[in-house]
Structure 1
């Protein structure tokens, strides 16, 4: 199972090749003052922060030069390790590791090992418990105040946007079983391949559309993005796909076309269109003000091309962990969140991304992965967002913790690290 884009392989190679050795740990010895220093990218090329707080609907394929500059951010000389994150008026509640939960010594030891490059090239690790951010750390290319490419973790954010549309009444849970094409008016079904009407939102969200596009057709999409903008993209894939059958829909086929279809439906059903809806009804509601989200097929990319800070990744995680509530408001449908983070189908135990000896029973919900993490004598079912290169948002409901990590490598062991080293610090 290799769900991630070839572009990310290049990114990871560039990032790993630029490593200059392990960073030192930088943790205050004063137990009353663990506030992390502000991390900056003063050596990054000018233009890296061109127009933050934008969803880019004008940039098509491939990603532009600005998006490659994340790899030009200099390595941190000292890791930033903070067991008492500062209040930054960004919508996150904060606390202190060890005081508000968790074993501080155990977590700090893991952080120091990460700083010493004992767990691969991790860029950040954050932990929240009972709704409070208790630990935050940055290494290598990670920065507190700079965004990090999300890759396929973007699919999870698209899923949350769909759940927001359901909460506001633009869609219902019953609509998830309706054909994707039934929501789109600018199509000519007479040209569709057989079985196009079989593809429901449920199929798209679980990566079982049954759509099959060959490599030559895929290259045509990539080389001529202006010809497949907005619903022209949907028209094209339903014309070019092999016939869609019960058999073709029986297998899990990971990719970005399914998430692009979901974004097309969001765009069609909300009055403002997908771009404004995502900005105003999801990101702004979470006090997310610094990000990049590029476009694909004329809309915000449903499956990749977003970039968020690690703290904002934590907000997405806490929103899901709290069953769609944020600051007392039900932002995302609770019924949808429960369904989305459940294990709707099994993807097997072979080559679990981020896995190891204590990770098993991998599965998939609505653009959320899941896996069982074994810690001691117990096993914890953990929904998680995953992005190629090592982006994770891990929910452990039974322990009321959310773990966020970012990285710049193809084979992170973040789920295994969580099972083996982080969960034990929160088990009473």
Structure 2
């Protein structure tokens, strides 16, 4: 199976799994919504007036796919200060070529670039451009699908910053942190799978689809750390040859370690110590059959919250002057630690090359004219992207419900030229 085939399979499963999640809107982020409106999940919002940015509620029974499409796109080159912790500026005045970006936005509104729900661009620490289309909503969450992996990784980094783990612990076996396991029943090599390998999805774990299905069909055998025990007992032997990149093998192990080392639960730790510190109150994060937060998909956050995640990473783990995640962890997360090949890069095209992977962040070189820029990106099925271009101090956020997005290619082709002048 090619990388694309593996990636597409996991993204498809993740996308289907994510649409049933829900979230509520906090008073700080709703910007005038009523109490009733603030309790409305993203996909139950039938209409948004983008003049007042207020949500109106007529029907609470809609699924994500039933959210009526916006009749007119919202395109703003001077994003509003919503008192949500996102600094704002003016496209053109504070950076970027306004005409080029507005032209792209109008093409998106005309449906020329797929089913995009939002496009936000920040540079120099300021949000300079904000736009919503189709099912996009400014103060309601969007399914993140596999971009959830990135947030799982950042939560582990937060635990390191707080002293519950160390950077050296990343090279220790996952099993060493999980005291309820019985290593005598492990398949050969499973006891040596490290946190680093889980974060880079090079664990070597190989289960058939039938084996995965059998585990999920009997939740009792995968509650808590039993999930890891079951996987380590059933996987094919772990060898140096098998420990190559395989999409999907690793996030659950990382969440298990987080649950084991932090006080209380991983769910509360994410709420209080990661998202809470960043002022992200409007989100949802579904539960895995193990009882822990789903590590690989099923989170849902707003586009502006995605901008916050981008800023945290681009600022080397700092948020409002405080070090939330170690700089060393961010460096590894957004680096090209392993090369995964350029075969059909998700969201890629002719100007996207040298695809790689760090700690739940993808990487690639994006060519704009005669110059290439290194990019790191969180990616989720359907077209969720958080793209960092450190050389330009540039952040691009996209949400979509598009099976075959071209977001990295469009960033190289249409967005980078507007900010590289």
Work out whether the TM-score is over 0.5: yes
Q: Is the CA contact (8 Å cut-off) linking 2:18 and 2:145 kept in structure 1?
A: no
Output aligned runs, 1:130-149, within 5 Å: 130-149=124-143
When structure 1 is superposed on structure 2, of 333-342 and 213-222 the one drifting more is: 213-222
* Distance in structure 1 (CA, Å) of the matches to 2:209 and 2:73: 43
The equivalent residue for 1:347 is 340
From 71, 75, 96, the counterpart of 2:69: 75
The equivalent residue for 2:42 is none
**Taking structure 1 as reference, are residues 39 and 310 closer, same or farther at Cα in structure 2, changes over 3 Å only?**
farther
The equivalent residue for 2:331 is 338
From 408, 412, 417, the counterpart of 1:415: 408
From 353, 356, 365, the counterpart of 2:358: 365
The equivalent residue for 2:224 is 230
The equivalent residue for 1:261 is 253
Offset, 1:267: 0.7
1:42 aligns with 2:35: no
Specify the SS of the correspondent of 1:319.
helix
From 296, 302, 311, the counterpart of 2:295: 302
Specify the SS of the correspondent of 1:119.
coil
Specify the SS of the correspondent of 2:73.
strand
Q: Is the CA contact (8 Å cut-off) linking 2:284 and 2:301 kept in structure 1?
A: yes
Offset, 1:221: 2.0
1:109 aligns with 2:124: no
**Taking structure 1 as reference, are residues 427 and 5 closer, same or farther at Cα in structure 2, changes over 3 Å only?**
closer
TM-score, scaled to structure 1: 0.87
Q: Is the CA contact (8 Å cut-off) linking 1:36 and 1:86 kept in structure 2?
A: no
* Distance in structure 1 (CA, Å) of the matches to 2:54 and 2:367: 34
The equivalent residue for 2:370 is 377
Offset, 1:373: 0.3
Q: Is the CA contact (8 Å cut-off) linking 1:372 and 1:379 kept in structure 2?
A: yes
Offset, 1:41: 6.4
Offset, 1:6: 3.2
The equivalent residue for 2:262 is 270
The equivalent residue for 2:205 is 211
Gap regions ≥5 residues in structure 2: 20-48
Moved over 6 A (4+): none
* Distance in structure 1 (CA, Å) of the matches to 2:208 and 2:17: 25
Offset, 1:381: 0.4
* Distance in structure 1 (CA, Å) of the matches to 2:381 and 2:52: 28
Offset, 1:89: 1.1
1:287 aligns with 2:293: no
Specify the SS of the correspondent of 1:126.
strand
* Distance in structure 1 (CA, Å) of the matches to 2:322 and 2:18: 38
When the two chains are superposed, the root-mean-square deviation of aligned CA atoms in Å is 1.7
Gap regions ≥5 residues in structure 1: 14-25, 27-34, 49-68
The equivalent residue for 1:51 is none
The equivalent residue for 1:177 is 171
Q: Is the CA contact (8 Å cut-off) linking 1:206 and 1:364 kept in structure 2?
A: yes
**Taking structure 1 as reference, are residues 222 and 328 closer, same or farther at Cα in structure 2, changes over 3 Å only?**
same
Q: Deviations over 1:72-112 (max 9, x none)?
A: 21100000001111111111111111111111111111000
Q: Deviations over 1:212-233 (max 9, x none)?
A: 1112211112222233111010
Q: Deviations over 1:54-83 (max 9, x none)?
A: xxxxxxxxxxxxxxx222211000000011
* Distance in structure 2 (CA, Å) of the matches to 1:242 and 1:261: 17
Q: Deviations over 1:309-363 (max 9, x none)?
A: 0000110011000000011111111110011100001111110000011111100
Q: Is the CA contact (8 Å cut-off) linking 1:36 and 1:85 kept in structure 2?
A: no
1:242 aligns with 2:242: no
Aligned length: 385
